[in-house]
Amino acid sequence: MGSSEHSEEANWVLHTPRLPGPWREFIEASGEEISPKDTLPAPGSTKHFKKSSTASSAIDEERLDVDLDLEKNSSLVERTQWVLNGPEPPGLWHELMDSVRKTVSCCRRKYSSLKNQPTLKSAVSVQQEIFPILVWGRSYNMSKFKHDFMAGLTIASLCIPQSIGYATLAQLDPQYGLYTSVVPPLIYAVMGTSREIAIGPVAVVSLLLPSMIQKLQDPRADPIAYTKLVLTATFFTGIFQAAFGLFRLGFLVDFLSHAAIVGFVAGAAIIIGLQQLKGLLGITHFPTNTDVISVIEAVWTSFHHPWSPHNFFLGCSFLCFILMSRFLGKKTKKLFWLPAVAPLLSVILSTLIVYLTRGDKHGINIVKHVKDGLNPSSVNLLQFNSPYVGDVAKVGLIVALVALAEAIAVGRSFSTMKGYHIDGNKEMMAMGFMNIVGSCTSCYVATGSFSRTAVNFSAGCETPVSNVVMAITVIISLQLLTKLLYYTPTAILASIILSALSGLINLSEVYKIWKVDKLDFLACIGAFFGVLFASMEIGLLVAVIISFTKIILISIGPGTETLGKLPRTDIFCDTAQYPMAVKIPGIMIIRVKSALFCFANANFVKERIVRWITAKKGEDTKEAIQLVILDMSNLINIDTSGIASLEELQKNLISEGIELAVANPRWLVIHKLKLSNFVEKIGGRVFVTVGEAVDARFSEKLPPPANASC
């Protein structure tokens, strides 16, 4: 094909008409069918299945150039037999057993390869599979350590104030946030596959946990009991995450679609921001509900009671400082470290200001006591005999999915930039074990933080050793510096959390989702408003329901399209997408767009075809429809309702003097059509491609309609 022809065909694809929106598709589905407009027939004429008395020399002059020689005709018949006489497809039980067999075979091959190796080498291979550090650690050198050391110190300066702030957001004592930045990062450095991800507490999970657990136990009434339930939920989170990786159930995370996560995180960011008004305004009475209405009511009520404006002025001043440092860091690449150290500088400066001015005596709320020392054991705090253990396990499942979705999304984003692949199942295993061990060492749920990972990436980290450096820095802080945090104002912690929320609301991505897929946008805003006006779990539930509804609509949606032949090609395409496609005179070619032809859509498709035929009969056309070709290339499966609808369609068409042919049926579809004797009822008119069905019609190779079997 010449370059000019190739360019022309490329333009056909690139400059097709705009797709009909969901509203247009809904109107069509409701029965407001638009009659198909016939395009001009191609030059040439047709030779009918049955000789029409109205055939004339004028039609002969418009015949398409479809004369086939004897060799081509015999090949066509042979290819039809390929379709009809194929082997029987595997059944459901066979496919299930085959899947199990492949998994067992894979494990057996791994075991055999280990068995043939010396014992020491086999043990090393198993350990390398579980602990990726044994693989990349071989090539580790001092140059990489210098980069990791600087990156680790940089993210530690951001991690320490954020961890304290997120712990207060989770309604835990401040030290629990620091504990969570010690053990989980160390375990992930040994078991994880991402080089850039920074592990620790994050804003979304820190709000999600109390929003569900405080329904079981009020943190203000009994903080110790509440802490025990949080640690137990962390344990269950780790169990679920490890199970997802062990049994390769990572696809469950994909139920939270990209659009749902964007909307959920944006809604959570606004809720988190509103929650910080408690620290920023120094409000003492704040609602346990996280919905926006309850928070606004509490803020409005607080203005009618005595409150200290010093908290607000101090918090806003350092919030402006942090945002300004972030702006300078983005503008000047040499100052990339400034946004990372700004939160720590804010803590140091504000603590000095409060200490020197005795601001706590003038209404400024301070952190007060932060327990020092390393992570204490919390095994005895896990509540497996609690009456709430079932509810806590459900919390663990929801948090596991959200935490994994965020961590894997962050890890994949940065691994793509560096050009390497992260193993999803190993990531789940690493996340699971670090949370299991974390729950036993006074840590709550940890996952990958986008803001700290971005800083880690910008600081030039090379391996997960940067997490180790960060954890060691936090350990030193726990041992030596916690007493210095006594006068740290809570308004500063609120301003640090507020400064981290801007990256969670991605308006450009929301606009892109709106532009590309309206149903995805519906899932996005469903999650957003569900989180905003109900609760975080309701927001997730709404998003998942909308996503599942979308899958069902796409899978069984009753879509059909008429096909025409592109000029100078043997390709048949949708005439709505390619207006230049020419319809074949006397033939209606229809493609079913759904993957399943079942009880939900079969009757609709049948009625639509009948309506089209009726509409064609009412028009002044030079040639009536004498053949309907059903292109089944999109159909994966068909049920008994679908077969019954096809049989009814065949009867309707025969009564109108029209024949039915089937093109390109999938393996399972043609098998079921043969079992139901439908192939015999249409006279064996089954073809590999639409083009062959058209060629057979013009070469009179199609068998006559089997009236008796209908």
pLDDT of residue 130: 86
- 575 with 661, same domain? yes
Which contacts of 319-325 are long-range, i.e. CB under 8 A and separated by 24 or more positions? 319/495, 319/498, 319/499, 321/345, 321/346, 322/346, 322/495, 322/496, 322/499, 323/499
Locate 314 and state its tokens.
Answer: 């101090």
Mapping DSSP onto H, E and C, the string for 47-91 reads CCCCCCCCCCHHHHHEECCCCCCHHHHHHHHHHHHHHHCCCCCCC
pLDDT at 503 over 90: no
Q: Is 79 part of any domain? A: no
Say how far residue 251 (Cα) sits from the centre of its chain.
Answer: 9
Region 412-436 average pLDDT: 88
Q: Is 98 part of any domain? A: no
pLDDT (tens digit, 9 = 90+) per residue, 433-451? 999 999 999 999 999 998 8
- 353 with 226, same domain? yes
- 265 with 412, same domain? yes
How many CA within 13 A on the CB side of residue 243? 11
Give the containing element (helix H, strand E) for 317: helix 309-331
Report the C-alpha gap between 167 and 206 in whole angstroms: 7
Q: Is 314 part of any domain? A: yes
pLDDT of residue 42: 38
Tell me the average pLDDT of the chain. Answer: 83
Q: Do residues 431 and 241 touch, judged by C-beta distance below 8 A? A: yes
pLDDT at 639 over 70: yes
- 265 with 328, same domain? yes
Going by their DSSP bridges, the two strands 560-565 and 587-592 should be labelled as antiparallel
pLDDT (tens digit, 9 = 90+) per residue, 508-527? 999 999 999 998 999 999 99
Report the C-alpha gap between 534 and 267 in whole angstroms: 11
pLDDT of residue 322: 93
Range of the domain at 636: 559-699
pLDDT (tens digit, 9 = 90+) per residue, 651-665? 999 998 899 999 999
User: Which of 485, 506, 527 marks a domain boundary?
Assistant: 506
Task: Provide the number of structural domains found in the chain.
Answer: 2
Q: Is 640 part of any domain? A: yes
Q: Is 521 part of any domain? A: no
Going by their DSSP bridges, the two strands 637-638 and 596-597 should be labelled as parallel
Q: Is 664 part of any domain? A: yes
Locate 316 and state its tokens.
Answer: 């806003």
- 493 with 606, same domain? no
Report the C-alpha gap between 56 and 433 in whole angstroms: 80
Q: Is 109 part of any domain? A: no
- 476 with 621, same domain? no
Looking up residue 623, the CATH number of its domain turns out to be 3.30.750.24
Q: What is the pTM (predicted TM-score) of this model?
A: 0.74
Locate 295 and state its tokens.
Answer: 């928070």
Going by their DSSP bridges, the two strands 62-63 and 198-200 should be labelled as unpaired
DSSP secondary structure, 140-201, as one string: --HHHHHHHHHHHHHHHHHHHHHHHHHHHHTTS-HHHHHHHTTHHHHHHHHH---SS-EEE-
Report the C-alpha gap between 354 and 664 in whole angstroms: 77
- 472 with 571, same domain? no
Lowest mean pLDDT among 63-77, 130-144, 413-427, 455-469: 63-77
Q: Is 407 part of any domain? A: yes
pLDDT of residue 501: 86
Which contacts of 341-344 are long-range, i.e. CB under 8 A and separated by 24 or more positions? 341/154, 341/157, 341/158, 343/157, 343/158, 343/161, 343/162, 343/496, 343/499, 344/157, 344/158, 344/160, 344/161
> Computed from CA positions of residues 398, 401, 406, 407, in that sequence, does the dihedral angle turn out positive or negative?
positive
Say how far residue 609 (Cα) sits from the centre of its chain.
Answer: 36
Report the C-alpha gap between 620 and 600 in whole angstroms: 34
Report the C-alpha gap between 701 and 698 in whole angstroms: 8
pLDDT of residue 511: 95
pLDDT of residue 105: 67
- 676 with 615, same domain? yes
pLDDT (tens digit, 9 = 90+) per residue, 280-289? 887 777 776 7
User: Which of 469, 486, 506 marks a domain boundary?
Assistant: 506
> Comparing 223 with 104, which gets the higher pLDDT?
223
- 487 with 568, same domain? no
Q: Please report, as a single letter, which amino acid is at residue 505.
A: I
Phi, psi of 624 (to 5 degrees): -75, 160
pLDDT of residue 28: 53
pLDDT (tens digit, 9 = 90+) per residue, 588-621? 999 998 888 998 889 888 998 888 888 877 665 5
> Comparing 65 with 287, which gets the higher pLDDT?
287
User: Which of 506, 524, 551 marks a domain boundary?
Assistant: 506
pLDDT of residue 281: 82
- 594 with 447, same domain? no
- 641 with 497, same domain? no
> Comparing 169 with 119, which gets the higher pLDDT?
169
- 225 with 351, same domain? yes
> Computed from CA positions of residues 203, 206, 209, 210, in that sequence, does the dihedral angle turn out positive or negative?
negative
Closest CA to 431 of 667, 193, 640, 630: 193
Region 336-351 average pLDDT: 90
pLDDT of residue 475: 96
